[in-house]
Structure 1
Amino acid sequence: MDARTAPSAPAAGSKPAAHPVLPARPHHDLPGRVIAAAFLIGLALVAIPIVTHPIPPLSDYVNHLARMHVIAVLPHDADLARFYRVEWAVIPNLMMDLLVPVIDRFTNIYAAGEIYTLMCFALIAGGTMALHRALFGRWSSVQLLAFPLLYNGVFLIGVMNYYFGIGLALCALAAWVALRDKPWPWRYAASTAFVVALFFCHLVAAGIYGIGLLAFELLRLWQGRGRPLAPRLAAFVAAGLPFALVGPLMLASPTWGLSGENYWEPKGKIEGIELIFNVYFDYVAFALTAVVVAAGIWAARHRLLRVHPLLATLLLVAGAVYLAMPRVAFATYMADQRIPVAIAFMVLATISVDLRHRLARRGFLVVLLVMVGVRVAEVQVVWDQLTRWTFDFRRSVGDIKTGSRVLVAYADVNGGEDVRDLGLMHAACLAMIEKSSLVTTAFTVKGKQILRVRQPYAATVDTEDGTPPQLEQLLIAEDEPTVDGARYWDLWPQHFDYVYLLFTERGAPNPDPDRLKLAFEGDRFQLYKVIPPGG
């Protein structure tokens, strides 16, 4: 076990450290320039699927990108201005909204989204390496294993604000560890700035930093047990003071109005852990995991593996929080299942391997490149297949008249459950980007996004982030309102110009020839032009 939290032991006659510091062991690793080069190569490799797929098949991604487009062009687009307005507020879900429209000034919205995604990747991988540097006092090549983990089940959901927050939380904890024994104003100023920035990424992202900070301070509290308890407890409690800002920020946020929308669910806790490794193919996840476990066992048997004591407290704190965390918090789904992926990068930062043998150093580089290559190839192959519908969808959007109103519905009640369907769920939002249209599935939930729908259109879109109507529901509400309560799709032929029917079979018949005219048929979707009453 490596109990150091500083680069070296204190010099003779210096003030004792706040906790025991063990003398450094001899350690061998790749040269710094090689680690830096490997970092750039790893980043270039994981960028391949992103730069070759401007519209990646991620669930929420296109919906978020459409909101970025609206924010950027709203003052200059009369059609979008007719449908939408931006209502800036203190919302813990804003990082992408703040950055991407600015990037869009220098490029197009698709490239801006790609740049933002690669910023997330660089921040997570760099944050993992920085945290290891703060814990062990040196850079290490082992943390380059963060690259094959960047593509994971949480990323496929397209929660882009939270994903940026993972990298920021790693950097925040690295800064706290590095500044822990420095003058306190610097430490608390940095921590406060990170807490505020993380709040605007996502509440769970701020919580990830809180988990890491609590674990680190618990470790210090335990390691300093030979000293007086009162000052140690005071320092322990004071470490959490920057998080006091979250309370006033939440009270000033419309998100507080969603505080009652929470529920806990025991099923899915194991799945949340699986999301760390599993992307599309189970056998790829098993193979990559087996390689890491086998390499770890080999390094441990040869006494080359060293683990920072932070690992134990981190797993205890994170495990307790994960089990207690609700599935939905403040109307945010998968609140608990997002945690394991972020903690995995912190865990990786606590591991050190002595690559004293030349064969071990070369072998590590080979294994790293193979792992990154396999993961990138997995994503690239699947995305090449899935984005065939992307081309079809963009072609179909070309048949939509600018400034139209578009209703999204499902033909299959089980649509979207397969991971390969994720990119189709919000693809209709391309009509917002390409045709300045109103789309019913655009994220416009008060307290979760800053995009609002203007009257009189607000009653004809989903403002609750729910599931689109099934085909049968549309047919029932065609001429009369829903009997058990108003729905935004009631009397839809009067309110919409087009209907996207998702998760269809090729050649599926027109479900309502009196009200719908087929405009385009693609892979797993159909676009219909609405025949208005009396038309």
Structure 2
Amino acid sequence: MQGHRLHWWQTRAFVVAVVIATMIPLVWPTVPPLVDLPGHMGRYRVQLDDGAHRWLADWYDFRWAMIGNLGVDLLIEPLAPIFGLELAVKLIVMAIPALTASGLLWIAREVHGRIPATALFALPLAYCYPFQFGFVNFALSMALALNLFALWLRMGRLGRVQLRAVLFVPLSCALWVCHTFGWGVLGILAFSAEMIREHDRRKDRRSGHWLESWVRAGIGCLPLALPFAMMVLWRSGDHVTGKTMDWFNWRAKVGWVIMVLRDRWMAFDLASVTVLFVILLKGVRDDRVEYSRNLLLSALFLSAIFVLLPRIVFGSAYADMRLAPYALGIALIALRPRRGLSFRGASTLAALGLAFFGARLVGTTISFWQFGRDYDRTLAALDHVPEGGRLLTMVGRACQDTWTYSRLEHVAGLALERKLAYANDQWSMAGGQLLTVRYTPAGAFAHDPSQLVTDRRCRGEWWRPLKVSLAFLPRQAFDYVWLINPPPVGPEFLTGLTPIWRSGRDVLFRIDDRTPPRVVLDPALLPLRRPRIIPRPS
């Protein structure tokens, strides 16, 4: 690049400072305000309980199994006894954006020899929308995959290929156990890197070198292949459920790309994404900048898989959405000043990249602080719920998402985590989760998405209108009803329910009368057929 002197953004001190800075937004909130995380925390509580409280075994069935979705679940085992469950979860979650940032910068360093100024624009993707959605096992595996890919490149550069082959057999298996997605992405990145390396070694020897490079790259990646057998064993069992569907939903895919930095302020988030695409365009139109063939091929492979993936894979929703920010991140760190040419604006570009990262970091910090206050206010209701209370939670939402996505959809999981109370937000899919729900008296209110209620019947969704949920609530199965940001409902639906806590629109009721309310429902609120509750595991 530009001589032998390291610029300020290429030094180890700068990288360490950036990695530490990425954790700042998560310092203030007691519970990281990620959409699905409270639901996972409820599962961790059952996992750690180990039969100490009999009623949890009456409600849930928790069984260890070798599945490709165990990252945080396993880390909680040694860390929770030391730090307590909530702090252990917070420390693990704080490590995810830090590892993501370190992985992106390390890859850029290995591919380009120095960290290019343009790589700083990729740093805000450490808080991409899939992470904010609370896909913590997935996000952890992707952060680890980026760092493992950097290690793969480094060992190849140093000529330690045989040692790398031995080392990456257990590493790839561990990454698969963390989450299957991370292992798959590592394989794609490693294959594309090996393909370019083999092509460069053979391009002057004979024609047809691309096919030979393809084959040799596949052979070079065999140390990463053992999890294929683990995948077959996992997905071939009779206990495994979950459909794969919703292919080529182009409108959704375009939306996922636009929303890679979605957080709270739509204008700010869309402007930030625009900045990223302007930087990518610079690599096409500016003759002082070029793309690394290695990382450009990786970004193209990831983009192709994003296009080909359906929205739901084995019952796990938002499968394609999760890949979009990482394909974009790889494309951004693929940019570098063209070899042989000076780039006098590099320092200015690096300063702009750092300012962009800082602005996103400040915005995320403020946003998470506000979400944290919402958690604190809402969770005050749990002071009035006894340990082991049979609690039914209903969280209001609109049929159409607003840009500022609520972080309270799985707040019931924190009632399970803190008060060992029943949580009807748990995902229940055999083979996809370690926990399944067994509380049959709850009926159709046993698990996710029964905790979500609306003001009307939403087309194409399984959420119930609040009036329907209150009318058909199995009062014999529960002792408390917790309404969070509910839509308006008449007093006739609340007969026999005594309010014991209020905060704004949120209300905690005690069920004093088990008699169902005598109400007449608008037929427009009722589903055309009996609703079937479909889990949405993360």
- Which residue is 2:234 aligned to? 253
Q: Report the aligned-residue RMSD.
A: 3.3
TM-score under structure 2 length normalisation: 0.81
Show CA shifts across 1:85-144 (max 9, x none): 430101111101011342222213222122111211121111112212322334556534
Q: Structure 1 residue 333: deviation in Å?
A: 0.7
Letter in 2 for 1:337: M
Q: Structure 1 residue 372: deviation in Å?
A: 2.6
Alpha-carbon distance in structure 2 between the residues aligned to 1:411 and 1:288? 30
After the TM superposition, which of the residue ranges 177-186 and 430-439 deviates more from structure 2? 177-186
CA contact (8 A) 2:481 2:508 kept: yes
Aligned ranges for residues 8-27 of structure 1 at < 5 Å? Answer: 26=3
Task: Pick the aligned partner of 2:27 from 32, 39, 51.
Answer: 51
After the TM superposition, which of the residue ranges 299-308 and 213-222 deviates more from structure 2? 299-308
- Which residue is 1:161 aligned to? 137
Letter in 1 for 2:246: Y
Alpha-carbon distance in structure 1 between the residues aligned to 2:25 and 2:250? 34
Aligned ranges for residues 86-485 of structure 1 at < 5 Å? Answer: 86-139=62-115, 142-180=118-156, 182=159, 184-223=161-200, 224-227=202-205, 232-253=213-234, 257-258=240-241, 260-264=243-247, 265-289=249-273, 304-353=288-337, 360-361=346-347, 363-364=348-349, 366-412=351-397, 414=399, 417-454=401-438, 462=446, 469-478=464-473
CA contact (8 A) 1:29 1:141 kept: no
Alpha-carbon distance in structure 2 between the residues aligned to 1:150 and 1:336? 18
Alpha-carbon distance in structure 2 between the residues aligned to 1:236 and 1:311? 15
CA contact (8 A) 2:35 2:410 kept: yes
- Which residue is 2:508 aligned to? 527
- Which residue is 1:20 aligned to? none
Show CA shifts across 1:41-93 (max 9, x none): 33343322211012233210111122223323445445534533430101111
Change (3 A) 1:457 1:179: farther
After the TM superposition, which of the residue ranges 286-295 and 404-413 deviates more from structure 2? 286-295
Show CA shifts across 1:291-315 (max 9, x none): 5566777899886534311243223
SS at match of 1:443: coil
CA contact (8 A) 1:56 1:423 kept: no
Letter in 2 for 1:351: L
Alpha-carbon distance in structure 1 between the residues aligned to 2:361 and 2:221? 39
Alpha-carbon distance in structure 2 between the residues aligned to 1:468 and 1:402? 28
CA contact (8 A) 2:440 2:446 kept: no
CA contact (8 A) 1:519 1:527 kept: yes
Letter in 1 for 2:500: A
Change (3 A) 1:298 1:513: closer
Alpha-carbon distance in structure 2 between the residues aligned to 1:232 and 1:151? 36
User: Is 2:495 the partner of 1:517?
Assistant: no
Q: Structure 1 residue 262: deviation in Å?
A: 2.9
Change (3 A) 1:147 1:298: closer
SS at match of 2:514: coil
Q: Structure 1 residue 158: deviation in Å?
A: 0.7
CA contact (8 A) 1:412 1:470 kept: no
Alpha-carbon distance in structure 2 between the residues aligned to 1:306 and 1:477? 62
Letter in 2 for 1:472: K
Alpha-carbon distance in structure 2 between the residues aligned to 1:338 and 1:184? 31
- 5+ residue gaps, structure 2: 451-461, 517-538
Alpha-carbon distance in structure 2 between the residues aligned to 1:411 and 1:255? 38
Alpha-carbon distance in structure 2 between the residues aligned to 1:100 and 1:63? 15
Letter in 2 for 1:328: I
Letter in 1 for 2:183: A
Alpha-carbon distance in structure 2 between the residues aligned to 1:112 and 1:97? 11
Alpha-carbon distance in structure 2 between the residues aligned to 1:28 and 1:498? 66
CA contact (8 A) 2:26 2:368 kept: no
SS at match of 1:88: coil
Change (3 A) 1:369 1:276: same
Letter in 2 for 1:147: L
After the TM superposition, which of the residue ranges 234-243 and 124-133 deviates more from structure 2? 234-243
Letter in 1 for 2:484: L
CA contact (8 A) 1:389 1:522 kept: no
Alpha-carbon distance in structure 2 between the residues aligned to 1:142 and 1:75? 52
Q: Structure 1 residue 163: deviation in Å?
A: 0.5
Show CA shifts across 1:223-250 (max 9, x none): 3333355864542231343454333212
CA contact (8 A) 1:392 1:522 kept: yes
After the TM superposition, which of the residue ranges 109-118 and 508-517 deviates more from structure 2? 508-517
SS at match of 1:149: helix
- 5+ residue gaps, structure 1: 1-23, 479-491
CA contact (8 A) 2:299 2:328 kept: no
Alpha-carbon distance in structure 1 between the residues aligned to 2:235 and 2:285? 54
Task: Pick the aligned partner of 2:476 from 461, 471, 494.
Answer: 494
Change (3 A) 1:514 1:250: same
Change (3 A) 1:508 1:391: farther
Alpha-carbon distance in structure 2 between the residues aligned to 1:395 and 1:249? 44
Letter in 1 for 2:384: D
Change (3 A) 1:147 1:510: farther
Q: Structure 1 residue 347: deviation in Å?
A: 2.2
Q: Structure 1 residue 465: deviation in Å?
A: 5.7
Alpha-carbon distance in structure 1 between the residues aligned to 2:134 and 2:295? 29
After the TM superposition, which of the residue ranges 53-62 and 301-310 deviates more from structure 2? 301-310
SS at match of 1:526: strand
The sequence identity of aligned pairs, in percent, is 22
Show CA shifts across 1:421-446 (max 9, x none): 42110112111122111111123422
Alpha-carbon distance in structure 1 between the residues aligned to 2:235 and 2:214? 35
Alpha-carbon distance in structure 2 between the residues aligned to 1:216 and 1:514? 65
How many positions carry a matched residue from both structures? 495
Q: Structure 1 residue 349: deviation in Å?
A: 3.1
Alpha-carbon distance in structure 2 between the residues aligned to 1:342 and 1:285? 17
CA contact (8 A) 1:125 1:144 kept: no
